[in-house]
Structure 1
Amino acid sequence: MGKSSRTKTRDQAPAAGEVGPRQPCPCGSGRRYKACHGAPGGAPTVFVNRPFEGLPSECDVVALRELVPAATAPLTLKDSDRTVQLCSLLPMAAPAMVRENGDIWLGLQVQHGFGDPARDLGAVLLKALEAETGIVGLTDDPGAGPRLQDLITGDTLDITVHDGFDYWIADVEDRDGMAAALEQANEAASPTARLTTVEAAYWTNVGPKEHLRWVMPEPEDKLLDALARLHEAGQDQLVPDSRFVGMFRAHGLLAPVWDVPVGTGPEPLEEPAEAFAKALAEALADDSDLTPAQRSSRSGLANRQVTIR
């Protein structure tokens, strides 16, 4: 009886055309089917594969949300002259803060889980515009409404990467109450710098290793083809003893990652990154069929992807 019971309770293989409960949901949300469109009532939220498309400096926004510990950028609102600062992370991971002087700080590294981070940021910003002071956030799905890119204007963001989170208290006179939290946050922040010769490329030192992580805007298939061409041609090494190790996938974009020798720092990467960007542009413009060797390289690159969001 026990054996028969165990047999009945095993997960059954899905019929042709069906999706198993533990398989990824076909909608692309990254959730298992049983927790998404296979859940009672269907998917809990809408899922937007590339939520930050159309934002100024989309690639940098993705980097600040997923890869960069401490960075800020001012935002220009379409219909208000309020001062708004986009921040990678705020104290206590707050979604937004309205400062005593009326300035608004908007936090990127907040996972609301409502399916569209750009809509969540837009809803938080609207709430902050109505608040007097203090922390502002979301407790419920905001539903339909303007997304962050609908509320701001401009072509690019002026990104400032900070050594730590001292910017949290730059305008605060009484800092004693935040000293311990600030010290803890600073200790957890890996040294990071944004390269100046190319867009959205960030060097970081994680202790035993240094990396260059570079968020790129091109469609995934086209970018993989171009990277495969460069890899097969031996053109994907930035500096001696560096190594192209794979890619993150975040918010619909790929972020290639290189290991670089410890002690390299960001400055020696500037010229090689600029040269690589030119070679990549040429490879992206090449619409010829991949050779068998290039197809093999492409397959290997595709297997070295890690999806963050």
Structure 2
Amino acid sequence: MAKRSRTKARDSQPVEGEVGPRQPCPCGSGKRYKACHGAAGGAPAVFVNRPFEGMPSECDVVALRELVPAATAPLTLREPDPHGRSVQLCSLLPMAAPAMVRDSGQIWLGLQVQHNFGDPARDLGAVLLKALQTEEPGIVGLTDPPGEGPRLQDLVTDDRLDITVHDGFEYWIADVEDQSGMAAALEQANAAASPTARLTSVEAAYWTNVGTKEHLRWVMPEPEDQLLDALARLHAAGKDDIAPGSRFVGMFRAHGLLAPVWDLPVGTGPEPLEEPAERFAADLAEALADDSPLTAEQRSARSGLANRQVTIR
């Protein structure tokens, strides 16, 4: 029996590049692959590891989807809406709606939504096309997988997004004339949002205050292996602190990108991080350009960093 069991286990091992049925699903759900994207009739069959690749400000889009409570950015369409309506990308819409056609005619597109059909960029593209075909104000969403079609990055032309991080969700009602009866819902939404700010000296780095501590979370575009090597070099050289009293605590993986995370002393705020972040970006660029073999100390640091990764999606 033992021999047959060993043979069965050996035969069931995945070939290189595949995901084994008992391995964690790469979508980041926390389930085993056989119970998620590998299950018949389970999670969506389509899974895209880096769905926002090619999207203007890809790293910021990932941050707005996963980290930032309240932020907006205008989108420029490749083919302008025949009704002349503008489109605004939003981190979160009321009731986590996928999209809304506002009374003003403006189209709002939400990043933080309830549904997930495997490729969020394709979901966003389908929702946007549906909203562009909708003239009446209201919520627009998906109830079924969208199938083949353009992704959001196929529909826009921006080189980079002009992102505004808001103190709260007042932008939800900024274009509403009669705001009576909305105060309680807005207050509840604002109470659940952690204060957040985007650094201006570097791309896609966000400070946040969660009450008991502050963090800097920085979504980076470099390939994972190269970025881990570079971060290991900086860690071994003692150059991975972002500010006095800060501590590099690891990183998370979201939509195919890594985001290093630092704990900050309470009371730091975003402004004191601007110059250190810019200096860190320069040190990181130098480390990325170093193609020499890692030293033993650097390899040890890299192993520790790799073990401190958490996948969001």
TM-score band by shorter chain is over 0.9
Task: Report the TM-score when normalising by structure 2.
Answer: 0.91
* Helix, strand or coil at the partner of 1:61: helix
In 1, Cα distance between the equivalents of 2:204 and 2:86? 24
| Structure 1: distance between partners of 2:176 and 2:40 | 48
SS of 1:256's equivalent in the other structure is strand
Q: Are residue 104 (structure 1) and residue 104 (structure 2) matched?
A: no
Superposed structure 1 runs of 4+ greater than 6 Å apart: none
Instruction: Name 1:72's counterpart in structure 2.
Output: 72
**Superposition TM-score, scaled by structure 1 size:** 0.92
Residue 280 of structure 2 aligns with an amino acid whose one-letter code is: F
Matches within 5 A, 1:139-288: 139-288=143-292
Paired residue for 2:126, among 100, 123, 126? 123
Counterpart secondary structure, 1:106 = strand
Partners in 1 of 2:41 and 2:114 — Cα distance?
Answer: 23
Deviates more, 1:120-129 or 1:13-22: 13-22
CA–CA distance in 2 between the matches of 1:37 and 1:123?
Answer: 21
1:18 corresponds to: 12
CA contact (8 A) 2:216 2:261 kept: yes
Is residue 92 from structure 1 mapped to residue 86 from structure 2 by the alignment?
no
Distance 1:304 1:14, change over 3 A: farther
1:54 aligned residue: 54
In the TM superposition, residue 112 of structure 1 has moved relative to its aligned partner by 1.9
**How far apart are 1:21 and its partner, in Å?**
4.7
SS of equivalent to 1:51:
coil
* Cα distance change on mapping 1:17 and 1:65 into 2, 3 Å: farther
Over the matched positions of the two proteins, sequence identity in percent amounts to 83
Over the residues paired in the alignment, what is the CA RMSD in angstroms?
1.8
Provide the residue aligned with 1:6 in structure 2. none
Unaligned runs of 5+ in 2: 1-5, 14-19
- Distance in 1 between the 2:243 and 2:36 partners? 44
Structure 1 unaligned spans of 5+: 1-11
Partner of 1:114: 117
Q: Deviations over 1:266-287 (max 9, x none)?
A: 0000000000000000000000
Q: Which moved more, 1:39-48 or 1:70-79?
A: 39-48
Matched residue of 2:76: which SS? strand
The amino acid that maps onto 1:160 is T
Q: Residues 117 and 123 of structure 2 are in contact (CA less than 8 Å); yes or no, is this contact kept in structure 1?
A: yes
What secondary structure does 1:127 align onto? helix
- The CA deviation at 1:210 is 0.4
Match of 2:34 in 1: 34
Aligned residue identity for 2:119: D
Q: 1:175 to 1:289 in 2, by over 3 A?
A: same
The total of aligned residue pairs comes to 297
Distance 1:85 1:208 in 2: 33
